[in-house]
Amino acid sequence: MFEALTFLQLQQYWWIIISLLGGLFVYIMFIQGGQTLLNQLSDNETEKTMLVNSLGRKWELGFTTLVLFGGALFAAFPLFYATSFGGAYWVWMVILFCFIIQAVSYEYRKKPDNVLGQKTYEAFLYINGSLGVVLLGIAISTFFSGADFALDDNNFVHWQGASRGLEALLNPMNYLLGFALLFLVRIAAGMYFISSIDHAPIEAKARTMIKRNIVWFLPFFLGFVAWIFLKDGFAYDAATKAVSMVPNKYFWNFIEMPVVGIMFLAGVVMVLLSVFNTVFRGKSCCAWTNGVGIVLTVMAVLLAVGFNGTAFYPSTHDLQHSLTIENASGSLYTLTVMSYVSLMVPFVLAYIAYAWRQMDRVKITEEEITAPDAHNY
Amino acid sequence: MLYETAASVDWARAQFALTAIYHFLFVPLTLGLSFIVAIMETLYVRTNDPQWKRATKFWMTLFAINFAVGVATGLIMEFEFGTNWANYSWFVGDIFGAPLAVEGILAFFMESTFFAVMFFGWDKVSKGFHLLSTWLVAIGSNLSALWILVANGWMQYPVGMAFNPDTARNEMVSFWDVVLSPVAMSKFLHTISSGYVIAGLFVVGISGWYLLKNRDVLIAKRSMVVGASFGLLVSLFLALSGDESAYNVAQKQPVKLAAMEGLYKGETRAGIIAFGILNPDKQLGDDRHEFYGDIEIPYALSFLGYHDIDAFVPGLDDLVYGNEKHGIEPAQARIDRGKTAVAAFKEYKAAVKAGDDTAAAEARGVIEANIADFGYGYLEKPEDIVPPIALTFYSFHVMVGLGSWFILLFLALLYLTMANEITRFRKLLWLAIWSIPLGYIAAEAGWIVAEVGRQPWAVQDLLPVGIAMTDISSSSVQTTFWMFAALFTALLVAEIKIMLRQIKIGPDGGDH
């Protein structure tokens, strides 16, 4: 089946999968968003424990999606994996630290004799939810702003500055996506709390929080969209593979690939609609609409940066060293083999949805959390 | 070396070793304990006996405490391939990435999805679905191990690929050769069974403590039976898989086998050193004796390595300097061929740039003829192929010695518990408790044998670690090394304290 596809088609297929995984990962980062809200949405320890438990039942999915995203990039686009992780060393190291401290925090937070104390683990969750998310947004934003690397004849990466990725923090435009992401995942977390916790005070606070965060989200998101639409983009010629700067490249990508453009618009509308329904119509059904909206929007952004003759990881040191889905991918054979493995993805998504549904059929209540034999985080 | 740098390489190796060692403190217990918990829950579902449910929930809580750090360190390892070993990531990503992606799709999601059901679903889903979830967590955890060990097996014995000079990397040509490589399979079986043994030791040790304290006796005895029978079965299997593993090492990594046994001069009918202290003054090629006070089991090494007591086992001197009589060429010959391949690769690149098809084809032919020794082209001298001998030798012997002890321990504990005599043998119960750390020591020693024993190679014969690492200053890697060391140590201390407290609280303390 996949043998019938051309090398380019397989590369495109895998970029679509990476984009889908990226979208799913951003959605699942509602866990991180929720971690920044633990104090804001709770008035007492029981409420905080309800919030932590609600997120704690899902935190592993976030980790797994990140690992899969990394694994799929490694396998499908190994040159990106080597270039970005090896080159932008410090940014990734800080992100990794943010994730290590999250992993233990749920399980250890309330355990007796936990050495570091409950507050420390809550601080870890906050750091992961805020710094981790903003840095991830900044790292993804370098897909549009470029990075300072060169590749030699062996395709080995040589980063040009000593700051090794931290220079991305000096570009104010990169913060637009970083903060847009932060407020987006907080909104998603609010909707998730409403759908999974049966507790009126938390619900009321979550709705107010969503209303405030959409006000913060929109300027950053619209600023990011305006920036990428107005800036010159990194394009490559299909025949010569030469990379050049093209005015408004990303804007034209959305126009020239109408499916991607519609996907982007539909995603944004779904996010806004879910916020409207939650805040103004008092609905509690919107976590899924919001989730689909986020996945579609992020997918569209990633498709726009990888397709239509666009270099998805541009080199600001030398344009010709930029990475494209054609020069950064695995071999024809590997992509073919992995494409068969990818057929498992719908099955995996189906059982995740089933287990999630089974677990969330009954919302978390105060009684459940305070039961003597409850396994609480 | 390509980059600055022995210092950078050493720090990068140290950092990866640190992460792997910490990771391997947590994961083996997860692998085995998940099955023990699943077995106990199955007994609960079949008998409807609430005591089995109590036992299941108790061991499940300890499983969860351990699980979290295993996940965190695992994530770091995956990304360290990119951050510290960027050149390696590119060189092998086409092959190594595939098992990692399969691991993510087929194993991690299973583990993480059903983990939540296992802990929070007791009153939310049916008994049957809950039991299924517990088994799926166990299967998912072990499937993760399968895929990562397939990738590791490929690094020990690279198969199923071809070097592509146009992309300057190895590319997969047979997925099944990579997955079904005998080295990958034996590594998988040996590694997971070592994890099962650790879990068995963990359960019998803690159960022993309850019996000594005369607390929760029924649950402790039941756990002792499950832990000891599981442990006995898997420790016997561990010995068998160890034999298979050593056979593979002899065939594919003879230098590692020689280092494991401190064998400098090759021998026919070679014996295994049951005990011996390495002579620290001993150098390659000299005539000093290798050991002080060695005790040897005759013929055993020939049999272990080649399943033939008359077989010749090459020593380090033979492998470094050659042995004409036994048809072993000196390492220098491989270095020369490797340098020829590396030079031809440069010529190929230049010819392609210049558009000279004839020169490119010629250079490509030279590369293909010498590709098996490509990595040797980056070594400076024949002695570079020898790993740290003392570390490899002692680790191997510690691992084998402890493995034998575990079989005896499980056997004794199982027999005495079944005979309802176990509480009379208090010293044995103390030995069970003290054997918990021994299980970890054995597993870490095994990891050292496998990974230190294959140095200097990141990928056997193809890519030395000096070339595999990221072009980065040693100070950066040094800084992150200490950051990781501090963080992992803090987490380890936290975990041990929490674990000890939960054990003290016991099954009756509820799920705190």
DSSP bridge partners of B450: none
Residue B511 clears pLDDT 60, i.e. is over it: no
Low-confidence ranges of chain A (pLDDT < 70): none
- pLDDT, mean of residues B492-503: 92
Residue B142 structure tokens: 């072990």
CB atoms within 10 A of CB B123: 11
- pLDDT, mean of residues B469-491: 90
DSSP bridge partners of A305: none
Q: What are phi and psi of B275, to 5 degrees?
A: -150, 140
Interface test with A, best of B95, B167, B177, B505 (most A CBs within 10 A): B167
Residue B2 clears pLDDT 60, i.e. is over it: no
Interface test with A, best of B109, B469, B511 (most A CBs within 10 A): B109
Alpha helices in B253-282 (DSSP H): 254-261
Q: Cβ contact (<8 Å) for A375 and B75?
A: no
Q: Show which of residues 76-135 on chain B sit within 8 Å of chain A, judged by CB atoms.
A: 76, 78-79, 81-87, 89-90, 93-98, 100-106, 108-117, 119-122, 124-125, 129, 133
**What CA–CA distance (Å, rounded) separates B170 from B163?**
4
Mean pLDDT estimate for chain A = 92
Contacts of A67 in chain B (CB under 8 A): 74-75, 78, 104, 108
Residue B510 clears pLDDT 70, i.e. is over it: no
Residue A171 structure tokens: 């570009």
Q: Cβ contact (<8 Å) for A60 and B71?
A: yes
Mean pLDDT estimate for chain B = 91
Residue of A nearest to B175 (CA): A337
Residue B54 structure tokens: 């109590």
Q: Cβ contact (<8 Å) for B175 and A337?
A: yes
Is A17's Cβ below 8 Å from some Cβ in B? Answer: no
Q: Cβ contact (<8 Å) for A60 and B69?
A: no
Look at residues B192, B188, B172 and name the one whose alpha carbon lies nearest to residue B28.
B192
Q: Cβ contact (<8 Å) for B124 and A338?
A: no
Classify the C-alpha dihedral A349-A352-A357-A358 as positive or negative: positive
Q: What is the ipTM of this complex?
A: 0.87
SS3 for B462-506, per residue? CEEHHHHCCCCCHHHHHHHHHHHHHHHHHHHHHHHHHHHHHHHHC
Amino acid at B281: D
Is A152's Cβ below 8 Å from some Cβ in B? Answer: no
**What CA–CA distance (Å, rounded) separates A291 from A300?**
14
Residue listed under structure tokens 């002899």: B250
Q: How far is CA B442 from the centre of its chain?
A: 11
Q: Cβ contact (<8 Å) for A89 and B121?
A: no
**What CA–CA distance (Å, rounded) separates B118 from B138?**
11
Q: Cβ contact (<8 Å) for B104 and A64?
A: yes
Q: Cβ contact (<8 Å) for A68 and B108?
A: yes
Look at residues B220, B39, B222 and name the one whose alpha carbon lies nearest to residue B137.
B39
Please count the residue pairs, one from chain A and one from chain B, whose beta carbons lie less than 8 angstroms apart. Answer: 275
Q: Cβ contact (<8 Å) for A64 and B101?
A: no
Element (H, E) at B171: strand B169-172
Contacts of B67 in chain A (CB under 8 A): 107
Decide if B184 contacts B178 (C-beta within 8 A): yes
**What CA–CA distance (Å, rounded) separates B31 from B195?**
6
Distance from A17 to chain B by nearest Cα, in Å?
12
Amino acid at A108: Y
Contacts of residue A229, Cβ cutoff 8 Å, sequence gap at least 6: A248, A250, A251
Q: What are phi and psi of A24, to 5 degrees?
A: -65, -40
Distance from B230 to chain A by nearest Cα, in Å?
27
Amino acid at A265: L
Q: Cβ contact (<8 Å) for B494 and A361?
A: no
Q: Show which of residues 335-364 on chain B sit within 8 Å of chain A, judged by CB atoms.
A: 346, 349
Distance from B31 to chain A by nearest Cα, in Å?
17
Contacts of A60 in chain B (CB under 8 A): 71, 111-112, 115-116
SS3 for chain A, per residue? CHHHCCHHHHHHHHHHHHHHHHHHHHHHCHHHHHHCCCCCCCCCHHHHHHHHHHHHCCHHHHHHHHHHHHHHHHHHCHHHHHHHHHHCHHHHHHHHHHHHHHHHHHHHCCCCCCCCCHHHHHHHHHHHHHHHHHHHHHHHHHHHHCECEEECCCCCEEECCCCCCHHHHHCHHHHHHHHHHHHHHHHHHHHHHHHHECCHHHHHHHHHHHHHHHHHHHHHHHHHHHHHHHCCEEEECCCCCCEEEECCHHHHHHHHCHHHHHHHHHHHHHHHHHHHHHHHCCCCCCHHHHHHHHHHHHHHHHHHHHCCCECCECECCCHHHCECCCCCCCCHHHHHHHHHHHCCHHHHHHHHHHHHHHHHCCCECHHHHHCCCCCCC
Contacts of A156 in chain B (CB under 8 A): 2, 86-87, 90, 471
pLDDT digits (tens, 9 = 90+) for A197-238: 999 999 999 999 999 999 999 999 999 999 999 999 999 998
Question: Which residue in A63, A66, A86 is closest to B470 by CB distance?
Answer: A86
Q: Show which of residues 121-150 on chain A sit within 8 Å of chain B, judged by CB atoms.
A: none
Decide if B108 contacts A72 (C-beta within 8 A): no
pLDDT digits (tens, 9 = 90+) for A292-304: 999 999 999 999 9
Is B498's Cβ below 8 Å from some Cβ in A? Answer: yes
Contacts of residue A45, Cβ cutoff 8 Å, sequence gap at least 6: none
Q: Cβ contact (<8 Å) for B89 and A338?
A: no
Calculate what percentage of chain B has a pLDDT beyond 90: 70
**What CA–CA distance (Å, rounded) separates A170 from A141?**
12
Is B511's Cβ below 8 Å from some Cβ in A? Answer: yes
Contacts of A364 in chain B (CB under 8 A): none
pTM score: 0.90
Decide if B40 contacts B59 (C-beta within 8 A): yes
pLDDT digits (tens, 9 = 90+) for B46-58: 999 999 999 999 9
Q: Radius of gyration over alpha carbons of chain A, in Å?
A: 21
Distance from A84 to chain B by nearest Cα, in Å?
8
Query: For residue A348, what pLDDT is reported?
Result: 87
**What CA–CA distance (Å, rounded) separates B220 from B209?**
9
Interface test with A, best of B111, B113, B124, B130 (most A CBs within 10 A): B113
Q: Is B323 helix (H, G, I), strand (E, B) or coil?
A: strand
**What CA–CA distance (Å, rounded) separates A208 from A282?**
11
Residue of A nearest to B119 (CA): A375
Distance from B258 to chain A by nearest Cα, in Å?
34
Is A374's Cβ below 8 Å from some Cβ in B? Answer: yes
Decide if A32 contacts A311 (C-beta within 8 A): no
Q: Cβ contact (<8 Å) for A107 and B73?
A: no
Query: Measured between alpha carbons, how far is residue A281 from residues A200, A214, A223, A268, B80 in Å?
Result: 16, 16, 28, 19, 47
pLDDT digits (tens, 9 = 90+) for B407-435: 999 999 999 999 999 999 999 999 999 99
Q: Show which of residues 18-77 on chain A sit within 8 Å of chain B, judged by CB atoms.
A: 53, 57-58, 60-61, 63-64, 66-68, 70-72, 74-76
**What CA–CA distance (Å, rounded) separates B102 from A68?**
9
What length is written for chain A?
377
Interface test with B, best of A358, A360, A364 (most B CBs within 10 A): A358
Question: Which residue in B57, B106, B494 is closest to A114 by CB distance?
Answer: B494
Residue B369 clears pLDDT 90, i.e. is over it: yes
DSSP string, B54-107: HHHHHHHHHHHHHHHHHHHHHHHHHHHHHHT-HHHHHHHHHHHHHHHHHIIIII
- pLDDT, mean of residues B238-252: 93
Calculate what percentage of chain B has a pLDDT beyond 70: 98
Query: For residue B3, what pLDDT is reported?
Result: 45
Which one-letter DSSP state was computed for residue B293?
E
**What CA–CA distance (Å, rounded) separates B93 from A21?**
19
Residue of A nearest to B176 (CA): A337
Measure the N-to-C terminal CA separation of chain A; round to a whole number of Å.
Answer: 46
Query: Measured between alpha carbons, how far is residue A78 from residues A42, B87, B458 in Å?
Result: 44, 10, 17
Amino acid at A157: V
Residue B290 clears pLDDT 50, i.e. is over it: yes
pLDDT digits (tens, 9 = 90+) for B63-115: 988 888 888 888 888 788 889 999 998 888 888 878 887 888 888 888 888 98
Element (H, E) at B457: strand B457-459
